[in-house]
Amino acid sequence: MANKVKQLLNTTYNQEVKEEQVNLTDYQTDQGGMAILPYAEADVEISALMLPIIQEEVDVLALSKYFENAWYDAGRVEKGAVLYGQAMLDEPILLDLQTYASTEPLSLKDQLYIGLAYAAIGDTYKAKQMYHKVVEGRVTSYEEQAFIQADTEAMEYELTALAMVLASKTEQPEHEKFYTYIVTHTNKDVW
């Protein structure tokens, strides 16, 4: 999309648009986590979700330490995202993952992150189990779209996006319907 806009500006208006270089280390905080803006605080979910894209360009040792500290932070609620981040960094998390996965009650979001963590360490059987546990009875499907039911529209988008990734990693047929739902509804102001 950005390349298309750049091309249109160059050809239609004879404006030269230079490619701006983004230094991802500017978005890595002193604690090691990633932030949405260079001056913002680190966020566990952003750090975990961006990891597949940014892993080659950031300090992964600092990021690993950030996830470790977040795991032992008693006030932290996004433990599933922490485990997913650690799994993406090939950290030895299997025992913590199994222990946390058996904790009740877990939020739907945590369960999806746990499924993603299992997928990241190669246990697709457990990842599929988590996927089916979350989506069973919670998916609304119509035509070529599907979404996870939640209390708010914003949470529906968030859960559907996570379910889409997990469905894709575990080769579930719904991943395309989730994707269609997300891209069809991106213009809504729910965040």
The count of residues in the chain is 191
Q: Give me the pLDDT at residue 1, please.
A: 34
DSSP 150: -
Residue 77: Cβ-neighbour burial (10 angstroms; 0-12, 13-18, 19+): exposed
Q: Give me the pLDDT at residue 20, please.
A: 64
- Tens-digit pLDDT string for the chain (191 aa): 345 555 666 666 566 656 666 677 888 899 999 998 888 999 999 999 999 888 888 899 999 999 999 999 877 778 999 999 999 999 999 999 999 999 888 999 999 999 999 999 999 999 999 999 988 888 888 889 999 999 998 899 999 999 999 999 999 988 999 999 998 877 655 44
Q: Give me the pLDDT at residue 168, please.
A: 93
Q: Give me the pLDDT at residue 75, please.
A: 76
Contact assessment for residue 87 and residue 121, using Cβ atoms and an 8 Å cutoff = yes
Give dist(CA 187, CA 151) in Å, integer: 20
| 160 Cβ contact list (under 8 Å, min separation 6) | 146, 147, 148, 178, 181, 182
Give dist(CA 144, CA 162) in Å, integer: 18
32: left (phi over 0), alpha (psi -120 to 50) or beta: left
